[in-house]
Amino acid sequence: MGAWYELIYFAFRNVKLRIGLTILLFFVLAAIFAPLFARYDPNAYVGPAAHPPSPEHWFGTTTFGQDVYSQFAHGLRLTLIVGLLGGSIGTLIGILIGLISGYRGGLLDEILNMITNIVLILPTLAILIIIAAYLTVRGFLVQSVFIGLTAWPWAARAIRAQTLSLRAREFVDLARMSGRSSMKIVLTEIAPSMMSYLFMVFILQFGGAILNAATLDFIGLGPTQAFSLGLMMNNAVLWAALELGMWWWLIPPGAAITAIVGALYVMNVGLDEVFNPKLREL
C-alpha cells in the first residue's frame, strides 16, 4: 500500500498529469451530458442557413441550416467511443503478443516477431483507406476494429522488450521453481510488474485511434450512419465553411480533437514522470 500512496502523492503533484487529466475529463463529461441538451437531430434542417452562434443555436448552423451544437455533441461522443474501442483492441493485441513472445522465446517468439515486423512496416493509413473505401456500409464498430487491428505492432514490440527483461529477474525464477504454469507466471508476476507501462501504452493507443478515426472521417471514409468530429470537419471543408467565414462550423471539432489528443500525450508524459523515480518532481 505504501507504494500506491507514493504514486498517488506524486501524481497529484505532477502539473502535466493534472492538466491533461482535467482536459480529458472535461471532454468525457461533455460527451456524456452534452447530447442531453441537444434539441435537434444532427441531420435535421432546423434553422436559417449559415447562421452564427445565437441563443437559439449555440454553435450556429451549417450551410444547410443544421444545428452545429447537436452535431458536435453527438460527434464528440462517437469520437471518444471509437478511440476507446480502437485503443483497447490495439492495446490488448499488443499485450497478448508481446507477453507471449517475450516470455516463451524460441520458435514462437520468432514467428510472432516476424508477424509483428510485417504488420509494422505496412502503411497503416493506406490500408485503412482501402478497407474503408470498399465497405458500402461503415459503422463505428467496424472502424474501431480495423483501427485496433492495425495499431498493435509497436505496442507488441515495446511490451516484448519489457518482458524479455523481466523474465530474467529472480522473482520470476522463484515462480518457475515453485511449479507455476507459464500462463500464471505471465499473468501474476510479469504483467503486474509492468502495469504502469501497459497503462501508458493504452493512453498512446487511445490518442492514436482518435487521430486515425478523425483522418478517415475527414477524407469521407468514416461511419456512413453516424456523426463524428472528423465528419463535421469533412463537411465544413467540403462546403467551404472557412472561405465563407463560418468558423463556428470548422473550429469546434478541430479544436476538440486537438485538445483531446494533446491532453492524452501530456498525461503520458506526466505519468512517465510519476512512475519513473528519476523524473519525479520533488
- Rounded to whole angstroms, the Cα distance separating 237 from 208 reads 23
HSE on the CB side for 183, CA within 13 Å?
Answer: 0
61 near 49, Cβ under 8 Å? yes
265 near 207, Cβ under 8 Å? yes
Nearest to 119 by CA among 152, 85, 158: 152
For residue 5, pLDDT over 90 is answered with no
Q: In a 3-state reduction of DSSP, which class is residue 45?
A: strand
- Rounded to whole angstroms, the Cα distance separating 118 from 148 reads 16
| Tens-digit pLDDT profile for residues 132-173 | 777 777 788 888 998 999 899 999 999 999 998 888 888 888
**DSSP H or E stretch at residue 146:** helix 140-151
- Rounded to whole angstroms, the Cα distance separating 86 from 147 reads 6
- Rounded to whole angstroms, the Cα distance separating 195 from 198 reads 5
274 is written with which cell numbers?
510519476
Find the mean pLDDT for residues 173-187: 84
For residue 29, pLDDT over 80 is answered with yes
Find the mean pLDDT for residues 115-133: 81
Report the predicted TM-score, pTM, of the whole model to 2 decimal places: 0.89
- pLDDT, residue 80, reads 95
Our separate counts of H helices and E strands in the chain read 13, 0
- Rounded to whole angstroms, the Cα distance separating 144 from 119 reads 17
Domains of the chain: 2-35+57-280 (1.10.3720.10)
**Residues making up the chain, counted from first to last:** 282
User: Which of 53-57, 184-188, 277-281 has the weakest average pLDDT?
Assistant: 277-281
